[in-house]
Amino acid sequence: MSRLDQAVDDYLTVRRAMGFKLALAGRLLPQFVDYLNQAGATSITVEHALAWARLPINSTVGWWAQRLSVVRGFATWLAATDPATEIPPRDLLPGRARRATPYLYSPEDIAALLAAASLLRPKLRAATYQTLISLLSVTGMRIGEAIALDRADLDVRHGVLLVRLGKFGKTRQLPLHHSSVAALQDHLRMRDRLRPDADSPALLINTRGVRLAYGVVGHTFRQITQQAGLTPRTPSCRPRLHDLRHSFAVDTILDSYRAGTDMHQMLPRLSTYLGHANPDHTYWYLSAAPELLALAGQRLEDHLEGRS
């Protein structure tokens, strides 16, 4: 094993211990080190990184940029102990993936989604998707976290939902409004009537009585949005299931601004509720809606006028 092979193993081990899955990096970095070993290189250079990233030559620029991004992360870590390491610049290749513009759902949009979901057949399917959409709207959970919930994760007595091993392996508890707890109880009673033979531990099940599948949920939600009449606002702003999470975060921040809440105290709590690994990720929502920017600007203006 070469020094670079060992470095890759150490890098992946340390990062995964911090909660990062690194599935793509786990596949690509050993290939990159093999490339360096065959080239007789003992350190990462920009020249070698760029040449490897552009393989295969008939691939897309976006894929090249993604490969280079994986190398950049490793090189940044390795440079702390190997001064000879060169870190590829971020703008070396175009085509880096850009975040989609969040499709922020209004209360009317949510009502339209629920009405469209009610038209699904059979009745259990309709009830399941109405509950899923409602749950995502009032908790901001990730879709993967929602479909991974078990019945035992709902603590009716204390009004708490347990999210086990979310992103980065984090587990958290989500306090629920009493109306949300009651709605989940109603759903479970209906589910037990419609599918009494289901023995799945899942909170949300499909018509076969088993846990929802991620791909099927995404396909069904696209059908629901079409039925609800929700259309893209721009080419990069399309109604997505994940945007229920964005909408929850933005609405929470908007409500806090309007109530005059100290944002420095509120945002860490929101970050914990959403299961973010770093509060910086939550701050990104500040730029997700014009209303937020306007309120933030007004608060700054009021602060400056008060100081003067």
Choosing from 15, 54, 222, 242, the catalytic residue is 242
257 has catalytic annotation: no
285 has catalytic annotation: yes
193 has catalytic annotation: no
Choosing from 67, 72, 142, 246, the catalytic residue is 142
Distance (Å, rounded) from C-alpha 47 to C-alpha 68? 11
Choosing from 15, 151, 164, 167, the catalytic residue is 167
The two structure tokens encoding residue 75: 């090189």
Choosing from 48, 245, 246, 273, the catalytic residue is 245
Choosing from 191, 195, 246, 276, the catalytic residue is 276
67 has catalytic annotation: no
Q: Active-site residues: which are they?
A: 142, 167, 242, 245, 276, 285
